[in-house]
Structure 1
Amino acid sequence: MAVEPAREPPGRSLVSRLRRNADTRPHFVVCGADALVYTVAEELANAGHRIRLTVIVPAELRADVPDLATLRGVRVIRADRLDERTFRSAGLAGAAALALVMPDDVVNLHAALCAQAVEPDLRLVIRMFNTGLGYGVRRLFADCAVLSDAAMAAPAFVAASLGEVAPTHVRLAGRTLYVARRADVRAEHVVCALTAADGAGRVDVLPADPAPETQRPTDLVLAEATGRPAGQTVAAQRLVRARRRRRPLRVMGRALRAALSRKLGIAVLATLVITAVSGAVLVQAEDNVNGFWKSIYVTLLTVVGSSDVELERNGVAQAAQLVLTIAGLALLPLITAAVVEGMVNARLALSSGRAAARHEDHIVVVGLGNVGTRVLRQLVDLGVQVVAIDRKADARGAKAAEQLGVPFIVGDAGREETLRAASIATSKALVVVSTDDVTNLQAALNARAVRPDLRVVLRLFDDDFARRVQTAFNIDISRSVSRLAAPAFAAAMLDRDVLATIPVDRHALLVAGVQVYAGSPLDGATLGQADRPLSVRVIGLSAAGSEWVDWAPDPRRLLAVGDRVMIVARRAGLRALVEQATPPAEPAPPDEAP
């Protein structure tokens, strides 16, 4: 009976192949249909690794995707369907890793299943918009990283909108982390130290937690944003303080004006004035009875249904009573109409965002797609007031805006009146992250026409176009989501689960999750053995089969197979920890004698 050859343990394919095949270049494959496929391929091609790279794209690519032929040493295959036949023709069998960055979750999942049939030990890096689906996909495949380009790009837009230099905000396992000075953060919100200065000009990166007496206020730390002032950056704190200075009576007056229309308000006011004047005349009138007037007086009161006819009064008093009765009849329906219109307008203000026009010192976010929703959540986490705009009432982030209490305007941000409805003239910044470049650029230019000094952060798909627009139109910052996300996808193929990159001084620190595999040096070791000051700092632990992250794990805890260690590390430190979490390579069998 034939014996099936032993497979490598899950998760060790890339490391072990590089060890056993040191004389050959590992093969990487990238599949995509938008700008992200080019930027990921470019990142891999320029990463300094000796690899073979194959890119699979549809026969007809979008116009905003640069020419892949300009990338040196990249093999391009055109295929409209990602199935086993396509993968075999691309040489996927024996490949080290596959990145699926198609803009459709279902297409990526189907392609991953087909790829696994061709190469079972393949390292998979999958682009997923739906985070719930991404969790299930990670459990479906043995060696898989699920990334979201929206999650990777959002911190850069958040930092730019707040006027910060670096994208220092990271959304991780349900909470937002950010880089701050130690003096600006409460001790209980510090996750780990990023830098420590010794006072003599030397700065250590990822130091061991310093003693309180040696801590310096200027040291950088990774902290948790809680939505409260102590969990905010300096820029976010300024926005919150400015918002609190608004006068409450002014806000109430604006809300009343939003609830009542101008015409109805004038009608109600005029009726009230007539009623008051007529009542005063009725009280002060003298007794002067006029026979002809009596008939008119009785007739009109009868027409309006009044039974309070007083013939003994003089004509002036009767006229005042008549006007007062008619005004009273008009006043009741006017009050009813005002109440109904006020309720309707209040509902419209909540659903369409008309009330948002009354905000000040806020940030306007245009486009509640994947990127916009992430930007929205992170800004709210930081305690910043936000107004959202999208042309679709059922946009992906509409429910999130409702849950967070964020005013939501349904309209075209390319139109000036929509921006004015969001009170763009009194806002602090405009973040335009919709998926339409034309709308994004038009919204940015219209906003600048309303307020020339407004900070504008603009999303454009083509990175070169974004740079040129930033220069030509004096836009503060133009960003390409694919350019921001590509390094994380490339790093996931080369260095495993890199969740974000944090620039600190001249260093790039990686936020990553490393899974422990059976037979590895970390299997059965304590968590403290994964922590290496100046190289790797452990910030959390997710137990096997669970998405919940323990942000204060006991360093004496014994690691088990499937545990996922959350770390902040340098690139070399991450590689070393991956080696620790991976079983050692089996020795190659000796060559048989001839």
Structure 2
Amino acid sequence: MSINPSDHFDDGSALPHGHMIVCGDDGLGHRLAFELAARCGEHVTVVVPSLHEGHGPQLASLSRVPGVSVRIVEARRPDDATLLDAGIGHAAALALAYGDDQTNIHAALSARRLNPDLRLVIRMFNRELGRHVENLLDRAAEARSPGLSRPALDVSTTVLSDVGTAAPELVAAAFDGSANVIAADGLLLHPAERPAGTPRRRTDLCVLAVMSGGAADDPAGEDSAEAPGEGGTQLLPDDRTVDRSRAVRGLVVLEAITENAPAAETSPGGPPRRGRLRTTVTGMLERLPLGILFSRRVRMICGLMALLVVAMAAVSWLAEGGSGLRAAHLTLLDVFTMGDPATDASLGRQLMQLTAGLAGLFFLPVLLAAVLDAMGAFRAASTTLRPPRELSDHVVVVGLGKVGTRVLGELHSRKVRVVCVERDPAARGVALARSLRVPTLISDVTEPGVLTEAGVRRSRAMLALTRNDSTNLEAVLAAREIRPDLRVVMRLFDDDFAATVYRTLRDSYPNALTRSRSVSSLSAPAFAAAMMGRRILGVMPVERGVLLFTAVDVRDHPELVGQSVAAAFRPGQWRVIARDTTAPGDRRSTAVYGSSTTSYGSLRLFQPELDWHLHPGYVLRPEDRVVLATTRAGFDILLDRDRGRAAGRRER
């Protein structure tokens, strides 16, 4: 069912060729629709399971925003009929953002059959399966037009993980609160505001915009989804405008925020030399997690057994008389089936012996299982390092689930000291932390003293990344009591709750940096960039406008061939910001410039391939590949020319 006519949007425009379709059942679909429609100006059709549950009401309100072209189709499953109703036959791209991998794969296969020229962006949790699906669907596209390369066809299948795409921005927020981050070529790039009169910094790559007024009110703070508007901001201004405005108006520059990330003096994540584990017996006992061996489960079972033994011993003493110690001793022997059969004793003694034996048969296997479980957790926890007391200037990561594991990998690859806190010793990130020798506390972060032991007072930032909003909030509030000016980043699922928490903490701690983030809001720009083609490296909101970062081959654009970097600059349209330094035959797909591959147990970051400090006089050659920062208008010009060349190749 569609809330709009099947071939028209709410603004009355007909369903155009090249529109985009988003299918999802959680916050990622809503965020992605906003990125494409409100920020990138695309016509978007959204398929949601219900208009009255989840994010359905928010999408319905988005479709009524003036100037935003959103059409909504209500369907429980993305079957063939639903995809056809959404206009799959003449769509440019389809994003499958359901929370279930199988649903996304099934819909992707159907969509490729219904429209072989469609760009597909698939959300997958299983990365290895996603890689196979990506190769399968790309081969199907190539088999249909064997004479054309993938860039010429502009057809691709991109498999993304929302967790993997959100991790770089969480890391950036921990460093300096940056938002709208693009991970490219081993760097984290973001738009940084420079007030009037601020001198140029070494990490500033280029000027992106001249601001209409002062800096926005903490633009990197809360997650919000508002309709766009230029508001007087000049995107990609020329040098004369920049020089004229530098003293009286603020600038937005492209900054590489981790170009010189601070490195640990010793092995990444490991403790300094003075903080190694003590060799004395006292020091070893202090660091062994004995509380895990005597866990709450073990203590509860032992307590119940003790109460039962005391009760049966009391009954036996009252019934048989004699010494109370002898009654307790006989009861314990009966529980552990170590006593002689009471064949010559009284009937009461025989009944008590049978009762004690049955209780022992029940409790002993349960106690054994609990002890074995605790010993396994003890072995796992005892092999993790404890935070050294001298450690400082580190980042505390609370929660080592999917998000925490990826963030830990990102921080480790940038040689940042890390201390982790995780309640579950079997969490997926604990094994990674152990292999990287990262100090880890196997404790509940809400327990008193845990954050103090993690060194929050001496840390540079804390990231609360558990799956529980209340746990993250409690951890942040406890950390702020220890250190009021601590920089914190919270993972919160509910967007309204995130905005409320952000405003409250900002007002309560005005001198501290607070960031509340949801994974869907952080990953949506990467999904939007993938939907716009392999050549889009990222989408970056700047003030109230938006810039697209795209990689192009110079030979395909006559306006670039033979021009210097300065002469190729088109104010308000595009600007050359980097050049691929690898030989043409050794270049990989432009889709992976922004990828940092993190695998379980082995971390690697692609070696730099892009020159971000181009001389203005460098002359572009046909064999060059360059990265452009473009406005929406400039990207449309480049895209129209690419489509014209592809059509010409098809005709030939």
- TM-score (norm. length: structure 2): 0.56
Q: Which structure 1 residue ranges, 5 or more long, are not aligned?
A: 1-21, 209-217, 265-343, 588-594
Task: Give the whole-Å Cα distance in 2 for the aligned partners of 1:88 and 1:404.
Answer: 49
Identity across the alignment (%): 35
**8 Å Cα contact 1:145-1:497 kept in structure 2:** no
1:37 is displaced (CA, Å) by 1.2
| Correspondence for 2:538 among 454, 479, 500 | 500
What is aligned with 2:285?
261
What is aligned with 1:359?
391
Task: Give the whole-Å Cα distance in 2 for the aligned partners of 1:32 and 1:365.
Answer: 30
What is aligned with 2:162?
149
CA 67–123 in structure 1, closer or farther in 2 if over 3 Å, else same: same
Is the partner of 1:55 in helix, strand or coil? strand
Task: Return the letter of the residue paired with 1:486.
Answer: A
CA 115–416 in structure 1, closer or farther in 2 if over 3 Å, else same: farther
RMSD: 5.1
What is aligned with 1:292?
none
Task: Give the whole-Å Cα distance in 1 for the aligned partners of 2:622 and 2:127.
Answer: 29
Task: Give the whole-Å Cα distance in 2 for the aligned partners of 1:184 and 1:524.
Answer: 28
Task: Return the letter of the residue paired with 1:112.
Answer: A
What is aligned with 2:304?
none
CA 512–220 in structure 1, closer or farther in 2 if over 3 Å, else same: same
Is the partner of 1:464 in helix, strand or coil? helix
What is aligned with 1:83?
79
* 2:183 aligned with 1:171: yes
Is the partner of 1:582 in helix, strand or coil? helix
Mapping of residues 535-554 of structure 1, within 5 Å: 535-537=574-576, 539-541=578-580, 543=587, 550-552=609-611
**8 Å Cα contact 1:350-1:407 kept in structure 2:** no
Is the partner of 1:365 in helix, strand or coil? strand
Task: Give the whole-Å Cα distance in 2 for the aligned partners of 1:207 and 1:463.
Answer: 38
What is aligned with 2:323?
none
CA 572–258 in structure 1, closer or farther in 2 if over 3 Å, else same: farther
| Correspondence for 2:172 among 129, 150, 159 | 159
Aligned length: 453
* 1:85-113 alpha-carbon deviations (Å, 9 max, x no partner): 44234442222321111234454233211
Mapping of residues 513-592 of structure 1, within 5 Å: 513=551, 532=569, 534=571, 535-537=574-576, 539-541=578-580, 543=587, 550-552=609-611, 558-559=622-623, 566-584=627-645
| Correspondence for 1:93 among 89, 95, 111 | 89
More relative contact order in 1 or in 2 (CA 8 Å, sep 6+)? 2
Is the partner of 2:576 in helix, strand or coil? strand
CA 115–64 in structure 1, closer or farther in 2 if over 3 Å, else same: closer
CA 143–446 in structure 1, closer or farther in 2 if over 3 Å, else same: same
Mapping of residues 365-376 of structure 1, within 5 Å: 365-376=397-408
Task: Give the whole-Å Cα distance in 1 for the aligned partners of 2:90 and 2:158.
Answer: 19
1:537 is displaced (CA, Å) by 2.0
Greater shift, 424-433 or 403-412, is seen at: 403-412
* 1:522-579 alpha-carbon deviations (Å, 9 max, x no partner): 899789899646523253547356957732499766559xxx8644444433333333
Task: Give the whole-Å Cα distance in 1 for the aligned partners of 2:400 and 2:644.
Answer: 43
* 2:461 aligned with 1:464: no
Is the partner of 1:153 in helix, strand or coil? helix
Mapping of residues 15-30 of structure 1, within 5 Å: 25-26=16-17, 27-30=19-22
Task: Give the whole-Å Cα distance in 2 for the aligned partners of 1:263 and 1:418.
Answer: 13
Task: Return the letter of the residue paired with 1:117.
Answer: R
What is aligned with 1:31?
23
| Correspondence for 1:114 among 110, 135, 142 | 110
* 2:484 aligned with 1:484: no
Is the partner of 2:90 in helix, strand or coil? coil
Mapping of residues 36-51 of structure 1, within 5 Å: 36-47=28-39, 49=41, 51=43
Is the partner of 2:91 in helix, strand or coil? coil
* 1:430-471 alpha-carbon deviations (Å, 9 max, x no partner): 111223223222322333344444332111112211011123
1:257 is displaced (CA, Å) by 8.0
Mapping of residues 167-566 of structure 1, within 5 Å: 167=179, 170-173=182-185, 176-177=188-189, 185=202, 192-194=205-207, 205=236, 222-223=255-256, 225=258, 231-232=260-261, 251=275, 259-261=283-285, 351-355=383-387, 359-393=391-425, 395-398=427-430, 400-402=432-434, 404-473=436-505, 474=508, 476-494=514-532, 497-502=535-540, 508-513=546-551, 532=569, 534=571, 535-537=574-576, 539-541=578-580, 543=587, 550-552=609-611, 558-559=622-623, 566=627
Is the partner of 2:640 in helix, strand or coil? helix
CA 358–161 in structure 1, closer or farther in 2 if over 3 Å, else same: same
CA 68–346 in structure 1, closer or farther in 2 if over 3 Å, else same: closer
Task: Return the letter of the residue paired with 2:76.
Answer: A
1:386 is displaced (CA, Å) by 1.3
